[in-house]
Structure 1
């Protein structure tokens, strides 16, 4: 389980004293780790690149919780942010990360 809730809330600009979404935010972080590991084949490690990728995915999913698209493809949340996509590619190609077995 991802344990940096306050860092995530700061990145999301959610007040730390607001707790109603805490479980959702942590769940999104755990999902982001699983998504990155499955997309890259690399094992999660706590470092700045992996953590920024988690934060970007969590922010994207947190802000785009609609089930249905609104007809505007660029604003419907179905496409990952370009920066997150680049970071995921970097993790996949980098020899600095252990292959997940």
Structure 2
């Protein structure tokens, strides 16, 4: 799978100037792409088009995780509304 979201795009989106958290941010990118595919019920390497709505949803999710990385005790099983509202349109019927 080609690089769908670059580190530079996320750093611009999150307004991050330094390089000391690059590994953390790259992990968030990989995780957001995986969660996106699981949420929708299709894979990018199996015909799911990585369109602007999916990309913005991933950027928002990475930004959310980055800003709230210290929270461990709060309910975290649900996607932020902004992300799910972008992705739900593409969700396969019957995916839970």
Q: What TM-score, normalized by structure 2, do the two folds share?
A: 0.75
In structure 2, the partner of 1:50 is 54
Task: Please name the residue that 2:32 is paired with.
Answer: 32
Unaligned 5+ segments in structure 1 are 70-75, 94-101
What SS is found at the alignment partner of 1:54? Answer: helix
**CA apart distance, 1:48:** 1.1
- Residue in 2 aligned with 1:7? 9
| Number of residue-to-residue matches in the alignment | 86
**Higher RCO (CA 8 Å, separation ≥ 6 residues):** 2
Partner of 2:63: 59
Query: Structure 1 residue runs of 4+, over 3 Å off?
Result: none
Q: TM-score, normalised by structure 1?
A: 0.71
What RMSD, in angstroms, separates the aligned Cα atoms of the two structures?
2.2
Larger radius of gyration: 1
